[in-house]
Amino acid sequence: MKFATMKNDLKDGSLLLVSRDLSKAFSLAAIAPTMQHLLDHWQTLEPVIQPMYDALNGGELEACFDFHSEQMMAPLPRSYQWCDGSAFLNHGELLQKAFSLPPQDDFETIPLMYQGASDCFLGANDPIELPDERHGIDFEGEYAVVVDEVPMGCTAEQALSHIRLVMLVNDVSLRGFIQREIKGGFGFLQAKPSSSFSPVAVTPDELGDQWCDGRVCLPLNVTWNQQWFGEANGDEMNFTFGELIAHTALTRKLTTGTIIGSGTVSNKNTERGSSCIAEKRALEMIATGQAQTDFMKFGDRIHMESINDAGESIFGAIDQVVISGGNQLAK
C-alpha cells in the first residue's frame, strides 16, 4: 500500500491512501486521520485498508481524487524519533581517504548513527530554507523505514518484522558545521537542519523483489539543477535496515513511528555517480588532489526519485529549491 499526508491547517496533516501509479488518492480521515494514528493502530486498520487499496488501484473506489505531490507534507510530518545511520561503507571510506582521516574502530561491524531533529520535517516539494550559503549546503539521498514499537534488545532478524513503511530522504547537511561538531564529541546539531521526505511512504511489499534482506535494491536517481548527478543503488547497503534497527534498539525500545535512515546511498562503481556533494568532492580530491564541485547556492534545485524496472516511480519525487531565510544575523 501507499500512503501520503496532505497539507491542511493541522501540524500532522490528513492521511491519504494513494494508488500504485501515484495518480489517485482517497481520504482516510474517517478511519485514520493521521499517519501516526495509522501506525498506532496498524494491526486493526491494515486489513480494513487493504481492500480499499485494491479497489483504488482497480478504479472502483468512489470519492477518490487526483493526487498532487506538491500538496503533500512529509508522510510523517513530525516523528517521536529520527535516527540516521551510515550503512554504506563505501561512502565513509571515500571521505576517510580524501581527508586522510584515521580509520575508525569497529567501522565494519558497528554502524555509525546520529539522532536528528524530528519535530519539523519538510515535504517533498517544500523549499529548503536556510540562512547562509557559506554554511556548505549539501543534499544527501537516502532510503528510510518507519517501524512500529520495537522491543529493547531486538535482533536484526526480528527487526525486519517491525518495518511498516519505506520512504526516500533528502538528509540536508551543512558541511561547514560538521567537522567542528564531530570534534566536539556531542554529535550533530547545527549541521543537520530539517530533513525532507518523499511524498509517498510505501509498505515493503510494494517493492517486490527489490525489497531484499532488509535493503531497498533500487537506484536512487539524483539530479542537481536538471543535471544528472548519480544513480547509486541501495543493493550495496553494508548494514541492513534490520541491523540498523537492532543497533538503535540495543539499550532502549523504539516507539511506534520511529524513522531509521540508511545514510547516503553509495556504490563502489563510480560510474553510478554520487548521492551527495561531499562524496563527489571526495572523489575529486582523490583523483586530482583538489575538490572542484562547490556546494549548493540559493536557487539551486535538487531532484531525487527511485524508478523500478517497469519504469514506475515508487515513492514519488523529492523536488526542492534552496532559498534564503531565517535570521540573517547568522551571517
Residue 182 is predicted with a pLDDT of 83
Residue 216 is predicted with a pLDDT of 98
| Residue at 74 is within a domain | no
Q: Which segments of 18-155 does DSSP mark as H helices, in order?
A: 35-40, 42-57, 89-98
| Residue at 73 is within a domain | no
Residue 107 is predicted with a pLDDT of 84
Q: Any idea what DSSP says for residue 213?
A: T
Domain that holds residue 129: 82-330
Query: Which stretches of the chain drop beneath a pLDDT of 50?
Result: 329-331
Q: Of 22, 39, 67, which residue sits at a domain end?
A: 67
Residue 330 is predicted with a pLDDT of 43
In the block, cell 520535517 appears at 121
**Which run of H or of E encompasses 137?**
strand 137-138
Residue 238 is predicted with a pLDDT of 97
Residue 102 is predicted with a pLDDT of 77
User: What pLDDT digit, counting tens, does each position of 7-51 carry?
Assistant: 999 999 999 999 999 999 999 999 999 999 999 999 999 999 999
CA gyration radius, the chain:
19
| Residue at 167 is within a domain | yes
Q: Of 39, 67, 95, which residue sits at a domain end?
A: 67
pTM assigned to the model: 0.96
**52 and 89 belong to one structural domain:** no
**62 and 95 belong to one structural domain:** no
- Among residues 21, 125, 30, the alpha carbon closest in space to that of 67 is found at 21
| Residue at 77 is within a domain | no
**200 and 282 belong to one structural domain:** yes
Q: Of 16, 42, 67, which residue sits at a domain end?
A: 67
| Residue at 185 is within a domain | yes
Q: Kind of pairing, strands 65-66 and 82-86?
A: unpaired
**Which run of H or of E encompasses 197?**
strand 196-197
In the block, cell 519525487 appears at 317
The CATH number of whichever domain residue 233 belongs to comes to 3.90.850.10
Residue 328 is predicted with a pLDDT of 55
**216 and 303 belong to one structural domain:** yes
Residue 329 is predicted with a pLDDT of 47
